[in-house]
Chain A
Amino acid sequence: MKSDDIKWRVIDKPGETFKVHRSIYTDPEIYEAELKNIYESNWIYVAHDSQLPNPNDYFTTMVGRQPVIISRDKTGKLHGFINACTHRGAKICRKKKGNAKNWSCPYHGWVFNPEGKILDIKSLDSAEFPDNFDMQDYNLTAIKVDSYAGFIFASLNTDVQSLEDHLAGAKVFMDLFNEQSTEGLEILPGSSMYTHHGNWKMQAENGVDGYHLDIVHASYLQLAALRAKEAAEAAGGTDNVKAIQPSNPDVSGGNYCLGNGHVMIWLDIPNFRDRGLGLQYDDLVSRVGEGKAKWMAGRLRQVMIYPNVILFDGISTQVRHWRPLSHEETEVTVNCIAPVGEPTDARKRRLRQYEDFYGASGLATPDDLTEFDACQEGYNGITSPWQDFDRGMKSHIMGADEEAKHLGLEPESSAPRAADESIYHGEYRQWLKLLIDGSD
């Protein structure tokens, strides 16, 4: 696409208005440009360290449209490859995850090791290859892989900036997440995948949308309150979930644009002592101090690392990542993540809160997915083509607010309410930049 075909779709007038044209969710040409210039040119979240903990472990997934293998070699170093044999292109690793000292392609038997090096070509002696044939030209095609605080990212772009530079302000919140335990975090067994009608960018918007909470999740919030009330009255009521009920995002919390499209919202949790980490709050305070403990256990944080993952730490703890299947279909993978070595009662509480709210089998996510479908349908009403992200613009400030300064965070911008939609300026400025940079 030419840059002139792209840039009119975002109107960015600081202090005045910020609008996007709804064709960004429906235009197949825009979608192609996003795959090429966002998903296949940037760092994409692929896995957590705990999903391939041992030497020779591997994990298979997708980056944009392309199948990849993430592997750990015998020294523990991470590698990544296109999951296609350099001979005839068959996928080499067929399972979701495994452990192997070498990988033999199931089609013609070429053999590679977890560093991507080719070890054997079947019947090489009788191959009659031309004289210029060099076996070392057939090592697996490497991609960039790096990790931060246990979260592993991959990029198909060999010239991509360093992962730390890419993560920018998000690193502060990744550290806060990871330091909940001195031993780090682990993905708990039990993955879930769901699909929905609706452009992938609605995933990136919704997970940091404080404004929809009491409308879309009215049934959840009312039920959580009713449950707690009936259990307190003890007239046959029980409450083993103790659902987390954050403060009102219309008047409290805040949001930050963290750079490179990454954004986050935060909210205080009045009943934070009902959380898995809240059950250990006093120990946490003595380990990390009151200020940090408040952020870790007492504040909901939902951190969107552009373009494909959100780290949720509030209602429970979830890593949610997605990949677009088309301009109007999205596939989402969700995992519960927890501090390593967590006490049994805290682990159980975390799981019950997770299952109660999250996932397509929970009491909240299906309502979000229904709204994405409704938006995608509504966007077809292109006679009404523009939407603004102006809510909160008056109180949105560039740079750090007081809370950010306490944290040592240097955000691009700060806002005083979790329901402010100025958070999307960070996402869509990055969206526009990446598409313009990659345009013809």
Chain B
Amino acid sequence: MAIDQQLTADVADFLFYEADVLDRRDWDDWLNLYEDDCLFWVPAWDDDTVLCEDPDNEVSLIYLDDKNRLKDRVWRVNSGLSSSLVRMPRMAHLVSNVRIIEASEGRILVHAKFQANAYKLDEYRVDFFFGDYQYELLPKGDSFSIKSKKVIIRNDIIPRQLDFFSV
């Protein structure tokens, strides 16, 4: 497949925008990027090399198959009722290696790599998760919306917390 340079650039820019709204904690802008019947999925690993690919029979770290479940997570951050979310980490998401895997009129499959760095003020520590993003995007006006986002975390021993903003 010939590489569509313009599409790749537009998609990369969209992914960078999502990273930026997460880092700025613009949760409403972040939610606006998702379709109502979206999927946000972080599968668990079963063994060193075996990723759990069947969410109805195997465990996921996060499996949100409806935008209302993404809203749940944002609600919890805004509620002030969760002690793990009172002092939010300062985050910087780095996104790279953006590749269009498949593009048609109706949808675009995209793979990318990420590293999400967290400076945790209350724990005096720095952590990061890294791995892969796999998106299904839909064209929306002159931009895109997210039908599904699968996050494969390569370093999956979790220091205290992993949430939507951590990856």
Residue contacts A-B, CB under 8 angstroms, 20 given: A188-B57, A189-B44, A191-B44, A191-B59, A192-B59, A192-B156, A193-B158, A194-B159, A218-B81, A219-B81, A220-B76, A226-B75, A331-B157, A344-B56, A355-B62, A360-B162, A366-B163, A371-B83, A373-B123, A374-B83
Contact A367 B158 (CB under 8 A): no
Name the 7 nearest CB pairs between A and B, nearest first.
A190-B59, A190-B44, A366-B84, A219-B81, A366-B161, A360-B158, A361-B61
Q: Contacts of B83 on A, CB cut-off 8 Å?
A: 216, 367, 370-371, 374
Contact B160 A238 (CB under 8 A): no
Contact A95 B48 (CB under 8 A): yes
Contact B163 A190 (CB under 8 A): no
Cβ-based interface call for B66 (8 A): yes
Q: How large is the interface on A (under 10, 10 to 19, 20 to 34, 35 or more residues)?
A: 35 or more
Contact A361 B163 (CB under 8 A): yes
Given known contacts A223-B72, A240-B66, A351-B55, A97 and B47 CB-to-CB distance under 8 angstroms: yes
Name the CB-closest residue of B to A241. B69
Complex CA–CA separation, A274 to B68 (angstroms): 19
Taking beta carbons and an 8 Å cutoff, which residues of B are in contact with A?
A: 42-48, 50, 52, 55-63, 65-66, 68-69, 72-73, 75-76, 79, 81-85, 122-123, 156-163
Contact B59 A355 (CB under 8 A): yes
Complex CA–CA separation, A81 to B65 (angstroms): 44
Complex CA–CA separation, A194 to B57 (angstroms): 22
Cβ-based interface call for A348 (8 A): yes
CB distance from A69 to the nearest CB of B (A): 16
Given known contacts A194-B160, A351-B63, A367 and B82 CB-to-CB distance under 8 angstroms: yes
Contact A237 B56 (CB under 8 A): no
**B156 touches which one: A193, A219, A331, A373 (CB < 8 A)?**
A193
Q: Contacts of B156 on A, CB cut-off 8 Å?
A: 192-193
Name the CB-closest residue of A to B124. A197
Cβ-based interface call for A229 (8 A): no
Cβ-based interface call for A363 (8 A): yes
Complex CA–CA separation, A197 to B157 (angstroms): 14
Complex CA–CA separation, A245 to B142 (angstroms): 44
Cβ-based interface call for A96 (8 A): yes
Contact B162 A195 (CB under 8 A): no
Contact B81 A194 (CB under 8 A): no
Q: Contacts of B75 on A, CB cut-off 8 Å?
A: 223, 226
Contact B46 A189 (CB under 8 A): yes
Cβ-based interface call for A354 (8 A): yes
Q: Contacts of B46 on A, CB cut-off 8 Å?
A: 189-191
From 319 to 341 in chain A, residues with beta carbon under 8 angstroms from any chain B beta carbon are 331, 335-336
Contact B160 A196 (CB under 8 A): yes
Known: A189-B57, A189-B59, A336-B59. 7 other contacts (CB 8 A): A189-B52, A194-B157, A195-B157, A196-B160, A344-B56, A361-B161, A361-B163
Given known contacts A190-B43, A191-B45, A370-B84, A361 and B59 CB-to-CB distance under 8 angstroms: no
**A373 touches which one: B65, B66, B160 (CB < 8 A)?**
B160
Q: Contacts of B161 on A, CB cut-off 8 Å?
A: 360-361, 366, 369-370
Taking beta carbons and an 8 Å cutoff, which residues of A are in contact with B?
A: 95-97, 188-197, 216, 218-220, 222-223, 226-227, 230, 236-238, 240-241, 331, 335-336, 344, 347-348, 351-352, 354-355, 359-361, 363, 366-367, 369-371, 373-374
CB distance from B82 to the nearest CB of A (A): 4
Complex CA–CA separation, A240 to B39 (angstroms): 13
Contact B59 A188 (CB under 8 A): yes
Name the CB-closest residue of A to B55. A351
Q: Contacts of B85 on A, CB cut-off 8 Å?
A: 219, 366
By CB atoms of chain B within 10 A, which of A189, A236, A354 has the most? A189
Q: Contacts of A373 on B, CB cut-off 8 Å?
A: 122-123, 160
Name the CB-closest residue of A to B54. A189
CB distance from A72 to the nearest CB of B (A): 17
Contact A190 B123 (CB under 8 A): no
Complex CA–CA separation, A238 to B56 (angstroms): 18
Contact B59 A195 (CB under 8 A): no
CB distance from B127 to the nearest CB of A (A): 10
Contact B81 A354 (CB under 8 A): no
Complex CA–CA separation, A201 to B55 (angstroms): 33
